[in-house]
Structure 1
Amino acid sequence: MVQQDILLREQAINEINKHRELVAQDRFRLNYHVMPPVGLLNDPNGLVYYKGYYHLFYQWNPLATKHGIKYWGHYRSKDLVNWETLPIALAPSDWFDKNGCYSGSAVDYDGKLYLFYTGNVRNEAGNRETYQCLAVSEDGVHFEKKGPVIYLPEGYTAHFRDPKVWQEGDQWYMVIGAQTVEEEGVVALFTSSDLENWHFHGILAGSNRNGLFDFGYMWECPDLFSIEGEDILLFSPQGLEPEGIKYNNLYQSGYFVGKFDRENHTYANGPFEELDRGFDFYAPQTTIDDNQRRIMFGWLGLPDATEEHHPTRDYQWIHAMTIPRELDLVEGKIIQRPVKELEKLREEEIQQANVKISNETVQLPNVHGKSIELNLNVITNDADLFSVAFGKVAKLSFDKSKKLFSLERKTIKGDRTEIRSCKLDNLKNLRVYLDKSSIEIFLNDGEEVFTARIFDAHNDDSIHFAAEGSIAFDLTKWELKKVF
């Protein structure tokens, strides 16, 4: 290990030790979501099932609560609930990654764990350089950098990053998020037979291609996989303009359902669908586990102007991961469900059967809390408007005539409110995960999802149910234990 690598790791550990007590004092610290020990967390990286463990790496700036130099932090778990902190996987210590070990992926091959990531460099003139790099581990804990395996092709800007690698038969594939010199967001495709020598096949999908019009100036964090015989391309486009209730965050995350032609290296995509309708979801990544489930984590955050106003920055940390979600494809649509293992978090169950609300607002006995799971199954719904309010900072509502679900929250800065919405024909059920300063809402068995950070200055853990008209439902609530 080079001296610079040792120094950078020591700096990170010193920051953890320096701020440990302050971080622990934050009442917005989460109970069961993956968080950084200090500093800033963003994209999930290297999500992989390897030698009996789920490995989750993450973009990490341990030195500040803003974006800057990036490491790869590292957790692992046997059950997606209880997580073990492992040593730093990658530090930005070499000429090819000196300004950041940016996002990437991991694969298990021949008993070794291979990490692919983007090395970010600012040259002497201050211009960006980008390298797709490899690091290898025999044990899944300690990694040896092998250096760049892909250099920037002609026709692209240095916004060329986030390699996602997978294997089909004897063939390895890699997709990379990219920007052309015309400033169009695209996904580039490479193949390899040995994980070290890669052949470039050009653009797989992108803005102004495959029936798309102008669709953003940069596509980040691509991920290509198959479910039920369909080829799903996940990516995070930047530069989309709002269209009614769609694309209202600064940056989006979503997917195509299409067909990947592996012989001709082309992709025929369907329409773009957003993965999450909330305020704080970005850069998702998936993997296949030993049960052949497609598991996804997302960044429970977003790179935007509100980051500087997060109250957790006063305690020297910011951002978290979503809960792990299992993906399925139903009638051409991605369905997201919390993984079954999260049931291990449940404590103190409260059941309310056949709850009836008619033109009123009610609080139900013992149905409150800051770290809970809430399951609501509709029996009958004749309400024109039904809502569930969480403290004073968030409210989910369903307008039956408009077939519109909306999540309203208090803005992170100031006293305004903001809204994100989606269309669904009816309300069958909802499943809510609250965790101190986050909310994840799964509608109709995961047909739509809202994810958001919520910071309640009043520390109000009440939950109010309201209806204009009449609704009846069964409700179950669990307290969820703390694992972090």
Structure 2
Amino acid sequence: MLHNMDFQERINEQIDENRSFIETDPYRLGYHLMPPVGLLNDPNGLIQFQGVFHVFFQWNPFETKHGRKFWGHYTSEDLIHWTLEPVALMPDSWYDKNGCYSGSAIEHEGTMYLFYTGNVKDENDVRSSYQSLAISEDGMNFEKKGPVLHLPEGYTPHFRDPKVWKEEDHWLMVLGAQNDQEQGEAVLARSPNLMDWEFIGPIAGSGMNSLGDFGYMWECPDLFQLDGTDVLIVCPQGLKAQGDDYQNLYQAGYFLGDFDPTEAEYTHGSFEEFDRGFDFYAPQTMLDEKGRRLLIGWMGITDDAEQNQPTIDSNWIHALTIPRVLEIKDGKLIQTAVPELQKLRGRSAEYEVVLEAGDAFSEEINACSEILIDFKNTAAGKVELEIRNDIRISYKDNRFVVERYQFSGTEREQRAFALDQLTGLQIFLDHSSMEIFINGGEEVFTCRYFPDPEDNTIALQAEKKMTLDIHHWPLNGGGSITF
């Protein structure tokens, strides 16, 4: 088995060997976190530690497929300029030799604690999982302490993704799990000292809180209080599509409810999807020093189509979303882009546009852009926005639809949902990604897309007369991420 230094040297060589043609890839993103080479997936260990933001991530630096995972590591002081650090966790121990899977970070008495799932497979491909700990005094150099929680009875080895937080005088850990009946659950463990953990049991899952069958596995749980409400994030696998809902292979969503830490019980309402887009999974949150609850998600998903993404030709795949601020307003979870991103704005272009029936407004934009559209009378008829001759956004009869070319580049696909009214859009475009914040973050839509790199046109058309305001800023993303 390779030692840490051998792994890091191989990774550095891999980055350097691929740097020249990765940097010339027209689909390389300007202000989103992505792998310097290889495959990126779940964000891990989000934390602001000693004033510095740390974003760890699942990373296979040696190929663009899901294989043996490391914890990659980015740092930032302002959430917009990021530096790639040496790998934080490597699969070099008996309890994580097939992958350092997802987890979380906390600070306690000046020390950073990383909790993660060690993945192990034997010669017959039989899986074992170990909830493991590593610690750091400086947020850069990590010492593994080994497993702190073993697989409890009644569960399969699909038991992972520990998220840890403090509750009064003890620590709690929520994990994603599959029970022996192959049903997904969010389960809880408790510790007085971060080292000795007692398994408590499930707090949500299939057959609980009026849920019926709700998937065969729940991944990436996160439990926190927000504006007086307890929010449980989970990623259920195995949900069947229901109308417009659950259209992706795996889902990412949340429950709003009430968590009783004394009784270890969570009562909640219905499951709501976090993001209506094609490419969003494994979100994780953190509390920053300003008291904001920030979220970052994986701007991708594991399915057959991911291997059709053209960036594979440049030996990289996937990215993370921009950081989002979470709030609850009128009983609904709202997501907005962190205001720090405004520092990337270039010179503003502002328009008051009056469209007659059938008219179209078009503009050349930067491939990295922020677009604000204020609609004033959308009830008058259909609105359609086309971006770079690839993405088509439309709203009519209280239905919001986004359509794109599939990654194969031949067929088109769409996602849609009901929306009572459309008042405004905030759209963050990058060279091959789009994040739409609808009605101030009431809904969010995230996707990757791969248009003609030379086509930077947006066009807006209305079915009936309409007046609207458009603001556009180029975003100066170049140089925001240092490898």
Q: TM over 0.5, yes or no? A: yes
The answer to whether 1:119 aligns with 2:147 is no
AA of the residue aligned to 1:412: F
Counterparts of 1:49-448 in structure 2 under 5 Å? 49-353=48-352, 355-365=353-363, 367-399=364-396, 401=397, 403-448=398-443
1:4 deviates by: 2.0
Distance 1:125 1:442 in 2: 46
1:20 deviates by: 1.0
Unaligned ranges ≥5, structure 1: none
Distance 1:361 1:415 in 2: 28
- Cα deviation, 1:403-435, whole Å, max 9, x if unaligned, reads 111111111114111111121111111100000
AA of the residue aligned to 1:124: E
AA of the residue aligned to 1:359: A
Partner of 1:14: 13
Work out whether residues 361 and 464 of structure 1, in 8 Å CA contact, stay in contact via their aligned partners in 2: no
- Cα deviation, 1:237-285, whole Å, max 9, x if unaligned, reads 0000000000000001000001111111011111000000000000000
Q: What SS does structure 1 have at the residue aligned with 2:158? A: strand
After TM superposition, the score normalised by the length of structure 2 is 0.97
Q: Identity of counterpart residues, as a percentage? A: 48
- Cα deviation, 1:175-205, whole Å, max 9, x if unaligned, reads 0000011100001101111100011111111
The answer to whether 1:31 aligns with 2:26 is no
Distance 1:207 1:55 in 2: 34
Work out whether residues 157 and 180 of structure 1, in 8 Å CA contact, stay in contact via their aligned partners in 2: yes
Distance 1:477 1:270 in 2: 38
Q: What SS does structure 1 have at the residue aligned with 2:341? A: helix
Q: Which is worse superposed, 381-390 or 309-318?
A: 381-390
Work out whether residues 231 and 258 of structure 1, in 8 Å CA contact, stay in contact via their aligned partners in 2: yes
1:170 deviates by: 1.6
1:379 deviates by: 2.5
Work out whether residues 442 and 449 of structure 1, in 8 Å CA contact, stay in contact via their aligned partners in 2: yes
Distance 2:359 2:168 in 1: 58
1:361 deviates by: 4.1
Distance 1:181 1:22 in 2: 47
Work out whether residues 381 and 470 of structure 1, in 8 Å CA contact, stay in contact via their aligned partners in 2: no
Q: Which is worse superposed, 76-85 or 4-13?
A: 4-13
Work out whether residues 242 and 248 of structure 1, in 8 Å CA contact, stay in contact via their aligned partners in 2: yes
Work out whether residues 177 and 218 of structure 1, in 8 Å CA contact, stay in contact via their aligned partners in 2: yes
Work out whether residues 255 and 272 of structure 1, in 8 Å CA contact, stay in contact via their aligned partners in 2: yes
1:292 deviates by: 0.5
AA of the residue aligned to 1:150: L
AA of the residue aligned to 2:254: Y
Q: What SS does structure 2 have at the residue aligned with 1:48? A: strand
After TM superposition, the score normalised by the length of structure 1 is 0.97
Distance 1:289 1:474 in 2: 34
Distance 2:317 2:10 in 1: 18
| Runs of 4+ residues over 3 Å off in structure 1 | none
Matched length = 479
Partner of 2:473: 478
Distance 2:53 2:137 in 1: 16
Work out whether residues 408 and 419 of structure 1, in 8 Å CA contact, stay in contact via their aligned partners in 2: yes
Distance 1:86 1:381 in 2: 47
AA of the residue aligned to 2:369: I
Distance 1:254 1:101 in 2: 24
Work out whether residues 244 and 415 of structure 2, in 8 Å CA contact, stay in contact via their aligned partners in 1: yes
Work out whether residues 96 and 147 of structure 1, in 8 Å CA contact, stay in contact via their aligned partners in 2: yes
Distance 2:410 2:387 in 1: 16
Q: What SS does structure 1 have at the residue aligned with 2:358? A: strand
Work out whether residues 382 and 469 of structure 1, in 8 Å CA contact, stay in contact via their aligned partners in 2: no
Q: Which is worse superposed, 247-256 or 261-270?
A: 261-270
1:57 deviates by: 0.2
Q: What SS does structure 2 have at the residue aligned with 1:232? A: strand
AA of the residue aligned to 1:72: W
RMSD, aligned α-carbons: 1.2
Q: What SS does structure 2 have at the residue aligned with 1:64? A: coil
Work out whether residues 8 and 93 of structure 1, in 8 Å CA contact, stay in contact via their aligned partners in 2: no
Unaligned ranges ≥5, structure 2: none
AA of the residue aligned to 1:188: V
Work out whether residues 362 and 457 of structure 2, in 8 Å CA contact, stay in contact via their aligned partners in 1: no
Distance 1:451 1:310 in 2: 16
Q: What SS does structure 2 have at the residue aligned with 1:215? A: coil
1:480 deviates by: 0.2
Distance 1:459 1:43 in 2: 31
